[in-house]
Structure 1
């Protein structure tokens, strides 16, 4: 078996261009998923039963089914219901955002539950509105406790973003596969793609440690 790494050198810039696509999808999905995850977490601790049931059902569905299945349903299935096609990029962002929100909501809910209930009772006794209490007192403390878990979710999403190749998004993995198909040499480009994902994960890990250390020093 002949594995020729030098043969893919001219194609490396083409593969590297996929990093921008990957980062765009991951960043946008994280922002939307984080915002929706906060809403779901607040639903879960709400005293309004229908909101609790809705959030629990949502989390159960999106955590209980494969991400690739959710992606394919949005990209291939929804157009049959809506009557118009969905572009690969927004389909990927939608799938990752909805899936990530389910996991993030559980992380945030656990972080809120870890806060001493006495703080909520004291804030309520002082007449602090619920929304202000959550925004200024509870959530900032919860985020400090759940930062490692959130970073782990971000890292997981970065790696799982490679499945967008199944719907034709020109990310790192898709471009590496195309280079392999054109050159009949899959090992070298796929190994290079793996190195790119590894570097991205290491950068995220380092950033997470830096943020965590800064937050600890600010205590």
Structure 2
């Protein structure tokens, strides 16, 4: 019996080690992909701005398509990085009281230039008397940022986003609502699967980029 227990413990340790290696590999690959993507998008913007010389209408159209695809790929790479960071640090969360109002304000403020450019209205519905919550502030901020970024990505110009926090018995319900394209019913059961994506959803923003 003792020998079987030891064998099972060794097998579990090997699985944990394999999982750690997978997380490290994912983090390294994401970092390696991000650097060339930043360069590609940078030069694409230079070409579109005609800083390297004039371009034709056809060239502009092709570059806009390339930039739109590059931005979507960059967003996916950032999601991979966020996921790998969470996996590597999930056992080292710092739990302490913090004000959810400040976290919501900080997350929304990070997108202010983008919202202004695309005429997106944002409302924050957090009562002033909302009590402090116990949690890892940086992780909560990361989740809020990801949700807002996802909402912005699938909104039409002139759309709206509402970020709210509502106290419930024993917990705080934080939500991000938008009037974008939404998720088809057949995909709802997959939304918590790791790295699952529905695919490209066309908006008038895609046509512009």
Q: Say yes or no: TM over 0.5.
A: no
* TM-score (normalised: structure 1): 0.25
Greater share of strand: 2
What TM-score, normalized to structure 2?
0.26
Instruction: Tell me which protein shows more helix as a share of its residues.
Output: 1
Higher RCO structure, 1 or 2 (CA under 8 Å, sep 6+): 1
